[in-house]
Structure 1
Amino acid sequence: MEGNLRWVLLTALAPLAWGANYYVTRAWLPPDRPLWGAALRALPAGLLLLALARRRPHGPWWWRSALLGTLNTAVFFVLLYLASQQLPTSTAATVMAASPLAMLLTAWALAGQRPRRAHLAGAFVGLGGVALMLLGSGGTVTATGLASSTAAMLVSSVGYVLAARWREGADPLAATSWQLTAGGLLLLPLAAAAEGPPPAMDARVLLAFGYVTVVATALAFALWFAGLRHLPAGTVGLLGLLNPLAGVLLGTALAGEDLGARQGAGLVLVLAGVLLGRPRDRTRTPPPGAVRARSPQPDAPGPVRSGG
């Protein structure tokens, strides 16, 4: 019992770190460097996890890692960075909390994985919550931020469908390290060409990048996958709900964002939709946004990784 509680507490750190990532990106990282922001998050984290996993890609996983790294890391991290900069922290966290529901619908459209009625009900309830949150946010929602969030969900959902088909032959943590590394290597020359040299690093920015890379990516993914090995998938899925909650609470407490009745109701509907949409089987899914190697549930994943 004590062992399970320890793993619950350790695994809970992952969605909390992802939820805090919205605030750190918006408050401390340069707003005009999304390519560098994504590259400096992905590549060091990928190399850290690669050292931990101690496995190199093999066979088809060379090109799979390149493709999934492009979708789940390079494109997704850039869009997430833009969304975090352009939307209030609480709004960005709530919108991205609907990513497992977007994965559900994408799997239906692209892979013919017909969801149950409860899953469809969860999707519509969750999307209704997102709409309510956006309608209640006043004039703070930008078209760029909303488009980035929507595109991030769509890109990661397509990446999920592909990863779900290719889950065999690779440990999830190793596959995640390959995708992060591949995505980071792709982003480096693009960032240098489009944005010039890396952003200036004072102590504040360096600390923020350290958090995003080490805590919110490398450590969070390692704890998440460890939790998936030691806890029931349903427990990990529920812990994933801490992601949007952390984002909303930090946005309200530290950024002074309003959390009125309408926004609160929208958040509750999103969380209720995710719970309704959770698969009832034993399939477990790694964190979304990031790097998926299994089925859509919560990330999140499998639990719910709402974007991170």
Structure 2
Amino acid sequence: MSSSPATVSSPIADTRTWLTPVELLLLGAIWGASFMFMRVSAKDFGAFALVEVRIALGALILLPFLWRERALFTRSIWLRAAAIGTINTAIPFTLFAWAAQRAPAGIGAISNATAAMFTALVAFALYGERISLRRSIGLVIGFTGVVVLASGKTDGDSVWQAALAGTFAALLYGFGGNFLRRYLGTLPPAATAAATLICASVLLAPLAIATWPQQPIPTVSWLSAIALGVLCTGVAYLLYYRLIYRIGATRASTVTYLIPLFGVMWAWLLLDEPVTTSMAIACTLILGGVALSQQRAVTAKKPS
């Protein structure tokens, strides 16, 4: 979540019940920290250069999985991976990095939570998936939270541009998640993630080179960028797909509720960023809306 892509996999029985909540908490903490790392490094790298470093490192971590399944990736599959990598990775990652230059990390983390609601809306608009009254109410509540978030200020400065950038990135996740399930859902998830990251890296490379900073980049920003790529992209994707394989995509997606909470907490603890009233209200509304909009799907997939 910053960036958490949706995939489909057949769930299997979870015999180690204690491990699942631990891994969900760990994944929420890692993805929540991504907004803090972007906040630290984006001002020195710029959005394009930072995202290129992040994606390239993440792809490197996942490359062995793609190599193992390379025979499955035909030319048509690579074209699909390029399109989805653009929609689901390159553009939203850049938008979140751009937002991190202009607003506290918590703004991006909270707006990222709307991805689950956008996924439901896109599925309804493009594929006719039903939206119940309960889910509709959840969507209204969640998007009310977006309005509250965009109307807020930190240290007297408006954050609406960053909030809208993060929300638009979440909208792209909604499209990307649906396209991923529809067009690449039969492929091994980790290999698919590697392929989309590689394509996104190639597409962004010219922009990253053209905008690469002329001045030396501080060590702390380099360390944050490396953490973004290795930990928040490569390792986090591996952990996420491990959860999908063991407990199924629906239960694994509950990490959505943890990302904004950890994102705000890390920024408050380590960057001394304030938690404003508008952020707290927006977070409550958005997470409440996500919970309602996801409830029917979760209920429908409970094991009998």
Q: Per the shorter chain, which TM-score range?
A: 0.7 to 0.9
Q: What SS class does the counterpart of residue 87 from structure 2 fall into?
A: helix
Alpha-carbon distance in structure 1 between the residues aligned to 2:81 and 2:214: 25
Alpha-carbon distance in structure 2 between the residues aligned to 1:133 and 1:147: 9
Alpha-carbon distance in structure 2 between the residues aligned to 1:165 and 1:233: 14
Amino acid at match of 1:132: V
Amino acid at match of 2:28: P
Residue 136 and residue 62 in structure 1: after superposition, are their counterparts in 2 closer, same or farther (change >3 A)? Answer: closer
Alpha-carbon distance in structure 1 between the residues aligned to 2:176 and 2:91: 10
RMSD across aligned C-alpha pairs, in angstroms? 2.6
Residue in structure 1 matched with residue 196 of structure 2 by the alignment: 179
The superposition leaves residues 92-120 of structure 1 with CA deviations (integer Å, 9 ceiling, x where unpaired) of 21112112112222222233223122211
User: Structure 2: which 5+ residue stretches go unaligned?
Assistant: 1-13, 300-304
Q: How many residues were matched structurally? A: 283
Residue in structure 2 matched with residue 55 of structure 1 by the alignment: 69
User: Structure 1: which 5+ residue stretches go unaligned?
Assistant: 284-308
TM-score norm. by structure 1 comes to 0.82
Residue 66 and residue 262 in structure 1: after superposition, are their counterparts in 2 closer, same or farther (change >3 A)? Answer: closer
Greater CA deviation, 62-71 or 51-60? 51-60
Q: Work out whether residues 41 and 222 of structure 2, in 8 Å CA contact, stay in contact via their aligned partners in 1.
A: no
Residue in structure 1 matched with residue 59 of structure 2 by the alignment: 46
Residue 200 and residue 51 in structure 1: after superposition, are their counterparts in 2 closer, same or farther (change >3 A)? Answer: farther
Greater CA deviation, 234-243 or 18-27? 234-243
Q: Work out whether residues 86 and 141 of structure 1, in 8 Å CA contact, stay in contact via their aligned partners in 2.
A: no
Write out aligned runs for 1:259-278 (5 A).
259-278=275-294
The superposition leaves residues 109-142 of structure 1 with CA deviations (integer Å, 9 ceiling, x where unpaired) of 2332231222111111111122223334354334
| 8, 21, 34: which one aligns with 1:21 | 34
Greater CA deviation, 167-176 or 249-258? 249-258
Greater CA deviation, 154-163 or 178-187? 154-163
Deviation of 1:279 (Å): 5.5
Structure with greater proportional helix content: 2
Greater CA deviation, 241-250 or 111-120? 111-120
| 233, 239, 246: which one aligns with 1:230 | 246
Bigger relative contact order, structure 1 or 2 (CA pairs below 8 A, ≥6 apart): 2
Q: Work out whether residues 87 and 172 of structure 2, in 8 Å CA contact, stay in contact via their aligned partners in 1.
A: yes
Alpha-carbon distance in structure 1 between the residues aligned to 2:102 and 2:277: 23
Amino acid at match of 1:116: S
The superposition leaves residues 175-231 of structure 1 with CA deviations (integer Å, 9 ceiling, x where unpaired) of 1110001100111122213x1468734431221111100100000010011011122
Q: Work out whether residues 57 and 226 of structure 2, in 8 Å CA contact, stay in contact via their aligned partners in 1.
A: no
Alpha-carbon distance in structure 1 between the residues aligned to 2:200 and 2:181: 19
